[in-house]
Amino acid sequence: HTPMYFFLLNLALLDLGGISTSVLKAMANFLWDNRTISYAGCAAQVFLVLFFYSSEISLLTVMAYDRYIAICKPLHYGILLRSRACATMAAAAWGSGFLHAVLHTASTFSLPLGRGNALHQFFCEIPQILKLSCSDSYLREVRITTVSAFLVCGCFAFVALSYVQIFRAVLRIPSQQGRHKAFSTCLPHLAVVSLNVSTVLFAHLKPPSISSPSLDLVLAFLYLVVPPALNPLIYSMRNQELKDAV
């Protein structure tokens, strides 16, 4: 019933959805030795992966703002982050992810695919699908991806700026224990966000000349699997209140 835990609930749902969409399908393929997916299933997977991932980037930006207000402007926290404001920001994060996913999915699957039907990845990923396109109109998707990259970079810049202000405020805390507690929570969060953003940008914007199946697999693992695995450790296992509740 507080803003931080409200946003953590949304983050947990997004992580759960993202993992269920991509990794569970890959695990089922491995267990039943079946590597096929229907055209509609591939489109649905692209949409859901983009939806959960984009929403999570937006939500992490909102959570950085929440931490900034809590640490840098604690007296204004109750006014700026009321329940209605938190619900609006969370809805905006989910809504932006939905629009982003619709835009990319519609653009990608409107292309004619004629260069085979094999994707060298454990899930349906847009760069891999574009390799199957037999039309030059894939440049349209490249332009949309570039615009999305600028938006992701904008979110990351906002997160980084928020943490710069947070660290400045933390350094003014007289208690060494208080500074250590703040840094031990903020630095892992910033590291995971940095890993998330850098790997997804490199995966989608890298030149085709350096592309390889093993590199694509590692990049996808880093931005799809690692952040949802680390978020519970950062926000739950290191949180004394959640430990006491458990």
Tens place of pLDDT for every residue, the chain, 246 residues?
788 889 989 999 999 998 888 888 888 888 888 888 888 888 898 999 999 999 999 999 998 898 888 888 888 888 888 889 999 999 999 999 999 899 888 888 887 777 677 877 888 888 778 777 776 656 666 777 777 888 888 888 999 899 888 888 888 877 777 677 677 767 777 888 888 888 888 877 777 677 777 888 888 888 888 888 888 877 776 667 777 777
The confidence score (pLDDT) of residue 47 equals 93
Query: Which domains does the chain show, CATH number per domain?
Result: 3-173 (1.20.1070.10)
Q: Give 237's DSSP letter.
A: I
Name the pTM for this structure. 0.85
Task: Using only the alpha carbons of the chain, give its radius of gyration.
Answer: 20
Q: Report the alpha-carbon distance of residue 148 to residue 141 in Å, rounded.
A: 10
What phi and psi, each to the nearest 5 degrees, are found at residue 113? -110, 115
Tokens of 242: 């959640």
Amino acid (1-letter code) at residue 104: H
Indicate the burial class of 158 (C-beta count within 10 angstroms; 0-12, 13-18, 19 or more).
middle
The confidence score (pLDDT) of residue 135 equals 67
Per the listing, tokens 């990319």 go with 104
Do 128 and 216 contact (CB within 8 A), yes or no?
A: yes
Cα 124 from chain centroid (whole Å): 16
The confidence score (pLDDT) of residue 239 equals 66
Q: Which residues contact 58 (CB under 8 A, 6 or more apart)?
A: 92, 93, 94, 96, 97, 155
The confidence score (pLDDT) of residue 87 equals 93
Q: Report the alpha-carbon distance of residue 211 to residue 203 in Å, rounded.
A: 9
CA distances for 103 relative to 82, 113, 156, angstroms: 32, 18, 21
The confidence score (pLDDT) of residue 137 equals 57
Q: Give 174's DSSP letter.
A: S
Indicate the burial class of 30 (C-beta count within 10 angstroms; 0-12, 13-18, 19 or more).
exposed
What phi and psi, each to the nearest 5 degrees, are found at residue 133? -75, 140
Do 199 and 144 contact (CB within 8 A), yes or no?
A: no
